[in-house]
Amino acid sequence: MGYAFMMVYTVITLYRWADKVRSHSGLGLVGVLLVAISVAAGMGLAALIGISFNAASTQIVPFLALGLGVDAMFLLIHTFSTQTQLDICYQDQVGEVLRKAGVSVVTTALCNVAAFLAAALIPIPALRAFCFQAAILTGMNLFSMLLLFPAMIALDVRRVFAGKLDILFCLKQEGTNATSMKEVTNNDMNELKVQKLKQNTCSEKYPKSFSKKCPEESYGRQNSMNDLIDPESGNERCYISCSSDCNQWTLTSFVTNYYSQWIIKTPVKVLTIVIALALLVASVYGIGKVEDGLDLTDVVPRNTSVWSFLQAQDKYFGFYNMYAVTQGNFEYPQNQRLIYEYHDSFVRVNNIIKDDDGGLPEFWLSLFRTWLTKLQDAYDSDKASGFLDEEGWTEKASNDAVLAYKLLVQTGHVDYPVDKSLLRYTRLVDDGIINANGFYNYL
* Contact indicator for 159, 191 with CB cutoff of 8 Å: no
SS3 label, residue 156: helix
Write the single-letter amino acid at 423: L
Alpha carbon distance 170, 180 (integer Å): 14
The secondary element (H helix, E strand) that includes residue 207 is: none
pLDDT tens string 351-383: 787 777 777 888 889 999 999 999 999 999 999
Alpha carbon distance 188, 237 (integer Å): 11
The pLDDT value recorded for residue 205 is 41
56 or 331, which is more confident: 331
383 or 412, which is more confident: 383
378 or 347, which is more confident: 378
The pLDDT value recorded for residue 405 is 92
pLDDT tens string 32-70: 899 999 989 988 998 888 888 877 777 788 888 888 888
239 or 306, which is more confident: 306
Lowest mean pLDDT among 69-83, 140-154, 229-243: 229-243
pLDDT tens string 245-282: 444 566 667 788 888 888 889 999 999 999 999 999 99
The secondary element (H helix, E strand) that includes residue 261 is: helix 260-263
* DSSP code for 317: -
Q: Does 185 score more than 60 pLDDT? A: no
* Contact indicator for 183, 193 with CB cutoff of 8 Å: no
Q: What is the mean predicted confidence (pLDDT) over 66-85?
A: 83
The pLDDT value recorded for residue 271 is 94
Q: Does 415 score more than 60 pLDDT? A: yes
Alpha carbon distance 425, 429 (integer Å): 12
- Residue among 62, 35, 30, 34 nearest 46 (CA): 62
What pTM, to 2 d.p., does this model score?
Answer: 0.50
